[in-house]
């Protein structure tokens, strides 16, 4: 992971000044006649927490898919740590230092939590899940402890509550030792207490060196967490700035509440 954050890098408004780690420039993704992402541009700095916010169907997950290599953009450029990764397949993007979670959980149901996380650490050069040796189990155990699953390592995924499944997704992602973590709709279906606990985990991961981009349609769930936000609607950016700037933006208010304050 990246260097630990320095207190001097954080000002009183919780903004982070670091090197540019991700550049998304004029990103567009079309599916036939449908434009899911339209000329979207934004930047992310090292050890920043950026929120990508928008109503359901706004194009948030499609944006992640284009960054991570699940989809090849119709046009536009994605640069990570100065390197052009536009259209690279997901396994190469992951190898470069980006990891992501998914709204639809994808664990191996026949293996316990520890094994799911351990397998995320295994080299993609291995062609079998059997016969894994070395220090990966201890490392996986430490990751489970880190995300709050230390007491659940021998449970199968279907024994975890919804909040536990989200933590398992996060564990599997950070087990790859990324520099940038893309988190897709982490607060969906969570209670206010669970949202607060998960937000604390994200803040701690940032302090330990990660850069995070979190997408969600629940603006209130992100406002206390993010340094900056990018708001998209119908695939296009309608606002960008601090949480305070976003909440007071008339276009954002119209997109969410028909013009009422947020």
Mean pLDDT over the full length of the chain:
88
Q: Is the pLDDT of residue 6 over 80?
A: no
Where do the H-state alpha helices sit in 100-151?
Answer: 113-121, 136-147
Q: Is the pLDDT of residue 8 over 70?
A: no
Q: Is the pLDDT of residue 258 over 70?
A: no
For the stretch 225-249, pLDDT in tens is 999 999 999 999 999 999 999 999 9
Q: Which domains does the chain have, with CATH numbers?
A: 16-97+178-257 (3.40.50.300), 106-177 (no CATH)
Rg, the chain, Cα only: 18
How crowded is residue 196: how many other Cβ atoms within 10 Å of its Cβ?
13
Q: Report the pLDDT averaged over residues 74-79.
A: 98
Measured in degrees and rounded to the nearest 5, phi and psi for residue 84 equal -75, 115
Full strand arrangement of the beta sheet holding 75-80: 34-45, 20-31, 75-80, 83-84
Task: Tell me the whole-structure pTM to 2 decimals.
Answer: 0.87
Q: Quote the pLDDT of residue 5.
A: 42
Q: Report the pLDDT averaged over residues 132-156.
A: 88
Give 17's pLDDT tier (boundaries 50, 70, 90).
low
CA distances, 2 to each of 80, 106, 150 (Å): 14, 27, 24
Q: Quote the pLDDT of residue 97.
A: 97
Angle subtended at Cα 191 by Cα 183 and Cα 142, rounded to the nearest 5 degrees: 50
């Amino acid at each position: 992971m990246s260097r630990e954050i320095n207190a001097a890098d954080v000002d009183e408004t919780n903004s982070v000044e670091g090197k540019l780690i991700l550049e998304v420039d004029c990103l567009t993704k079309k599916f036939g006649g449908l434009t899911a992402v339209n000329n979207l541009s934004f930047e992310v700095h090292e050890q920043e927490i950026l929120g990508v916010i928008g109503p359901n169907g706004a194009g948030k997950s499609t944006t992640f898919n284009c960054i991570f290599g699940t989809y090849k953009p119709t046009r536009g450029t994605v640069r990570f740590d100065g390197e052009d990764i536009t259209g690279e397949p997901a396994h190469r993007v992951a190898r470069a230092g980006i990891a992501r979670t998914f709204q639809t959980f994808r664990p191996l149901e026949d293996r316990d939590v520890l094994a799911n996380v351990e397998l995320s650490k295994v080299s993609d050069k291995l062609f079998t899940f059997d016969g894994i040796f070395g220090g990966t189990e201890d490392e996986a155990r430490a990751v489970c402890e880190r995300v709050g699953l230390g007491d659940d390592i021998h449970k199968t995924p279907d024994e975890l509550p919804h909040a536990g499944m989200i933590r398992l997704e996060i564990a599997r992602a950070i087990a790859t030792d990324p520099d940038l973590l893309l988190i897709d709709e982490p607060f969906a279906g969570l209670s206010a207490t669970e949202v607060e606990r998960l937000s604390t985990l994200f803040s701690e991961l940032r302090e330990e060196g990660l850069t995070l981009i979190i997408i969600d349609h629940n603006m209130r769930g992100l406002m206390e967490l993010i340094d900056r936000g990018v708001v998209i609607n119908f695939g296009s950016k309608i606002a960008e700035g601090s949480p305070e700037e976003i909440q007071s933006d008339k276009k954002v208010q119209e997109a969410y509440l028909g013009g009422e304050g947020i």
